[in-house]
Each structure stands twice: as C-alpha cells, then as structure tokens.
Amino acid sequence: MGIHSATAVTVGSQAGAAALETGGGEAQPRYRTDVRLLTFGATALSIVSIFIYFRRGELLLSGDAVAHINHARRVFDSLTPGLGQLGTVWLPLPHLLMLPFVANDWLWRSGVAGAIPSMTAFVLGVLGIFRLVSEAALGLKLPAQGPRASGWLAVALYGANPNLLYLQTTANNEPLYLALFIWSMVWLQRFRQRLRNNRPDNTIGRALVACGVLIAAAELTRYDGWFVAGCTGMAASAILLLHRRKLSPRMLLASTAFAATIIAAPAFWLAYNYALQGNPLDFANGPYSAHAIELRSPHGPGRLHPGDHEPRVAAAYYIRTAEADLGQNKERYLIFWIALVSAVILALARTEVRLLILLWAPLPFYIYSIAYGSIPVFMPELPPWSYYNTRYGTAVLPAIAAFLALAVALIAARSSARHLRAGIFLVAFVFTTLTYVSAYRMPHHRGWSFPGEPSAGPLVWREAKTNAATRAAFESELGIALQKLPAHTRLLMYCSNHVGALQQAGIPLRNVINEANHPFWQWALASPAKEADFVVAITGDPIAAAVLAHPDQLVPVVSIRGASDQGDATIYRSLLRPTPEPD
C-alpha cells in the first residue's frame, strides 16, 4: 500500500494545484492538508476493513472474486500460459493489475492478491470524489469553507459506504472501475474549466487526453465504461462545439487523440475476441457470456428474470438495490431520492455542475442491462426472493455522494450565520452515519432466512455470505480430497465453477487440464483416462459427461456429496497411467 498511497498523494497534490484555477491562492495549502488527511484516513480505513474480513476468512466469499483471482493466476500458471488465458468475457485490466500479486502463492490462496488493487483504487476513489465535488462547489461561489465541507461530506458518503468497504477487500472490479470513472470526470471538469478560463492550449489538451486515457482504462475494466465513454464523448464534443472559436490546431490534435483513445479500448477487445474465438462478440453471445449462462440456469417459462424486457420493473429492481446498498433504515430512500432530484434541479439551474450529471450514467445503463442484457439483479425482499448482483447498486454511489453533498452545500449557503451553516453539514454527516450504521446493525425483516444467511450486515456481504454457504463447504471438502492426491500428478477438472477447490488445496493450475487449455481440453474429453492421472467429475459439468461416454480404464477413488445446488463430485484414477493410489 505504501507505493500506491504515494501515488494517491501525487494525484491529490495535482488536485490542489487545480484549485488555484478557480479558488484563489489560499486554496492550495488547504487542499494539500486535506489530501494528506484523506490519504491517511482512507488507507487506514481500507487496512482495518481487510483485517476484519481476512480474520473472518471472508475475502473469497464471492464466487466472482475467486474466479477473478484465478483468471489472473492462469496467465502464467497454466498448461497453456499466456494472455489468451484472460478469456473473452471479463475485461482484462483488473486481472493484469493482479499479476504481480497472484504470483505469490500465499497472496493467491488467501485472496489478498485480489484485494491489493481494489484497496489502492478505493483510496484513489476517495481522493477523486473529494477533488470532483469540492472543485464543482468552488464554481458555485459558496461561502468560505463551503467547497471543502461539501467535499468532505461527499467523501463520507462514498468512502464510508459499508458495501464499498467490503468490496475493496475482494478481487471484484467495482472499486477499480469507480476510481477510474470518478477521475475521468475530474479531468473532464478540468478540461471545461481550463477552456472557459482561456488557459494555454497545451494544458487544456492534456486535461482532455487524461480524461480519455482514464475512460479507456474504465472501458477495459467493466462494460459500464463503454456506455460512459459514449456519454463522455458526446459531452466533450458539446463543450468543444460551444467553444469552437477558441480551437487551435493543437486543440484539434488533442480532441482527435481523445476520440481515438476511447474508441481504441473497445476496438481492441473486439479484435481480441475475434483472434481468440473467431467471434468479435464472444463476450456478449459466446458460451460463457451472461446471456448463455442465464439460458443454462433453471428458470420457468416466460421471462428469464424479473425485469426481462420490462424496463419499468428493471428500474424498480435496480433502484431498490441501489437504495439498499446504502443501509437498512428508511432514510436510505431519502438519501437516494434527494440526490437524484438535486441532480435534475442543479443540471437545469447551474451550468457549473452540469457535467456531473454524467455520474448518473450507470442508472440507465443498468436498467437497460436488466431489461435487455441478461443481467439479473435479485433482492431477497423481491421475487424470486434471492441474492444476485446486488453490488451493481454501488455504481451510482459517486452520483449520490456528489449531488447530496452539493445540495447540502447550497442549502447551507442560504444562511448568513457560519454556525448555522456548520450545523446543516453536521446534520448531513449524522444522517449519513446513522444510515451506514444501520447496514451493519439493523436486521432485514422477512420472517424467514436462507441457510447460512446473516440477519444483519451490508447487503453485498450478505449476498456473498449466503451464496457461499453451500459452495464454500463443497469446495473445502473437495480441496481436502485433492490435497491427498499424489504430488505433481495431472488432473482433469472443469474450473469454471469450483476452481476455488484447487486454490484452497494449493494445486498449481499448470497441473490441471481445464476448459481454457486448448487443444488439451478437447483431447482429454475424448479420452479422459489417457490424458490425466486423476479426473474430477462434478454433476452436470462436461467432464461428468465425458466420463459417462468414456468410462473405460477409470476407477472411482473418492466421492463427495454436495448440496442440491452444487451436485456431487467423484474423483477417478486412470488405470492407463502409472500413478500411485491417493492417500
């Protein structure tokens, strides 16, 4: 964390310098002090959070977190190593950032390898939201200390969010994406401000190019970034059009570089998909795409999930999830809707903060994705009474933090008494604190619960805890069985579902033939006993079908009974290969 914290301080110091453009010479020392405090506080909060979840063994509760870490690991630890092991569905940047850390066996097996980039992104995101909101507030000409107070309130809303604090201890990519998203808006705001203030062309162009680079990184982190890139591109084009008389050849060159950068990221991913699978849209319609996975999952006739081809239902589900990602008390509804209504009012009335409306881009993106993109979001209080993808609600957290803070700042500015302005901000801080505390302490009342479900706790953590109840037990038992196999033997195992068992057992992925190893995978399915020393078949997976079709020379040695949603596992020994019996 030391290196990354130093980076955060450098970025924050640039934010302090930028404040001079709109806030006067006295702004810089205050910003530097704030940046130091924020860097220290966010780093401390991040470390305390991972310490708590690490001690409870909860860094790898999320199945997606386990998969992300092993996606990164198999780039070098695989029967067929290389960048092709990144796959075609999940975007590559988070896995590339994990590479230096997953190389260490302890960091890989414990899950800390995935947490390090997320924790770094969390700290940078906190600094970014402070920079974004306080600079926007400076443009509103608030009374003294108003911009700083609004920045600190935004930090409290963003950095203290219980679900984000849990996510930044995992390998999930939301913290990284949010940090990139926030900082791209910082540089877009800086670009417009410099253009309006007639700053030198080279500084204006650098701001626009920096925005483009950050957007491209976001595009290589989550598909949300593709939608945001389109919105940002249109916003930048509108700004350039409004100031077209100021455009110079240098500015036109920077604009071209910006456009090329945000186009290059998705173009690269389409080309990568084509090179790997012969289908540029394999991430969207291939066998491991969200649509294909949903079609394989059990569901009744009619809609694939609530909100499928029903935008109004999709909107209701996503908004309920975003609200619940704030806390459990009723005030969470007020926080969400005050922020949303404030965004509409401020966007119409105050041109200084109009750009920040882009922070709400995830709202239409996820509503569309639920309705037409095979991306279900389940809440335990809504049919089908289950947990799934609740972390997606955190995508609008920067928007909530920014617009609630700006709304409070404008309300406080109407008072001429300094102590009354401070009191208004204090009430907002207390309001936020009570809502976030409710996420930890207030039970979610339904009158029933799932096996292993906690009665209280952050929503995203509850989902991970609940959905891991049967999976973790099954993978733990399977991992113990795999540890007893002779060392350095060749395994055949389908890793899309239960790669966590190999991770727990500490078995190198290069010893395992899996679905990412072509052509070895196809050869092994055609003749399991010939290609592997031990074959792990789990109910319903391709290897179980291969064993059923080619049972010759395979002897079952271990059977593991799983829950109904996990299936059973059987480990077979090949009689064609001279391997000793397992312990």
Q: Which residues contact 23 (CB under 8 A, 6 or more apart)?
A: 135, 138, 147
Residue 24: strand, helix, or coil = coil
What are φ and ψ of residue 339, in 5° steps?
-65, -45
- How many whole angstroms separate alpha carbon 262 and alpha carbon 115? 27
Q: How would residue 13 be classed by pLDDT, with cut points 50, 70 and 90?
A: very low
Using alpha carbons only, give the angle 61, 214, 187 rounded to the nearest 5 degrees: 125
Per-residue pLDDT, 2: 42
Q: How would residue 583 be classed by pLDDT, with cut points 50, 70 and 90?
A: low
Q: Is the pLDDT of residue 27 over 70?
A: no
State the residue for tokens 């007020």.
334
- How many whole angstroms separate alpha carbon 426 and alpha carbon 428? 5
DSSP state of 378: B
Tokens of 59: 């860094």
As a whole number, mean pLDDT of residues 371-390 equals 92
Q: Which residues contact 49 (CB under 8 A, 6 or more apart)?
A: 165, 166, 168, 169
Q: What is the mean pLDDT of the chain?
A: 90
106-123 pLDDT tens trace: 999 999 999 999 999 999
Q: How would residue 291 be classed by pLDDT, with cut points 50, 70 and 90?
A: confident
Query: How much is the CA Rg of the chain, to the nearest whole Å?
Result: 25
Residue 221: strand, helix, or coil = coil
H/E run at residue 557: strand 554-560
Contact between 269 and 84 (Cβ < 8 Å) = no
Please give the distance of CA 194 from its chain centroid, rounded to a whole number.
31
Length, in residues, of the chain? 583
Strands 534-538 and 569-574: antiparallel
Per-residue pLDDT, 121: 98
Of 6-20, 54-68, 81-95, 334-348, the least confident: 6-20
Q: Which residues contact 122 (CB under 8 A, 6 or more apart)?
A: 42, 46, 159, 164, 165, 168, 175, 179
180-236 pLDDT tens trace: 999 999 999 999 999 988 888 889 999 999 999 999 999 999 999 999 999 999 999
- How many whole angstroms separate alpha carbon 257 and alpha carbon 556? 60
Per-residue pLDDT, 449: 82
411-439 pLDDT tens trace: 988 887 888 888 999 999 999 999 999 99
One-letter amino acid of 89: V
In the chain, the percentage of residues whose pLDDT exceeds 90 is: 74
Strands 491-493 and 512-513: parallel
Contact between 191 and 204 (Cβ < 8 Å) = yes
Q: Is the pLDDT of residue 12 over 70?
A: no
- How many whole angstroms separate alpha carbon 265 and alpha carbon 216? 5
- How many whole angstroms separate alpha carbon 463 and alpha carbon 402? 27
Q: Which residues contact 341 (CB under 8 A, 6 or more apart)?
A: none
- How many whole angstroms separate alpha carbon 316 and alpha carbon 312? 6
CB atoms within 10 A of CB 129: 30
As a whole number, mean pLDDT of residues 119-148 equals 91
Per-residue pLDDT, 7: 41
Sequential DSSP letters for 461-473: HHHHHHHHHHHHH
By the 10 Å C-beta count (0-12 exposed, 13-18 middle, 19+ buried), 103 is classed as: middle
Residue 376: strand, helix, or coil = coil
- How many whole angstroms separate alpha carbon 402 and alpha carbon 391? 19
Tokens of 216: 């491209």
The dihedral region occupied by 278, where left means phi > 0, alpha psi between -120 and 50, and beta the remainder, is: left
In the chain, the percentage of residues whose pLDDT exceeds 70 is: 93
State the residue for tokens 């309130």.
153
Please give the distance of CA 109 from its chain centroid, rounded to a whole number.
21
Of 163-177, 495-509, 565-579, the least confident: 565-579
Regarding predicted confidence, which is higher, 495 or 580?
495
Alpha helices per DSSP H over 24-160: 27-55, 63-73, 93-102, 105-110, 112-139, 146-159
Residue spans of the domains in the chain: they are 2-441, 460-574
Which residues lie across from 555 on neighbouring strands?
A: 573
Contact between 286 and 277 (Cβ < 8 Å) = yes
Q: Is the pLDDT of residue 45 over 90?
A: yes
Per-residue pLDDT, 198: 85
Residue 572: strand, helix, or coil = strand
Q: Which residues contact 380 (CB under 8 A, 6 or more apart)?
A: 386, 387, 444, 446, 450, 453, 462
CB atoms within 10 A of CB 84: 17
Q: Which residues contact 413 (CB under 8 A, 6 or more apart)?
A: 140, 142, 143, 146, 421
Residue 371: strand, helix, or coil = helix
231-289 pLDDT tens trace: 999 999 999 999 888 888 889 999 999 999 999 999 999 999 999 999 999 999 988 88
Q: How would residue 581 be classed by pLDDT, with cut points 50, 70 and 90?
A: low
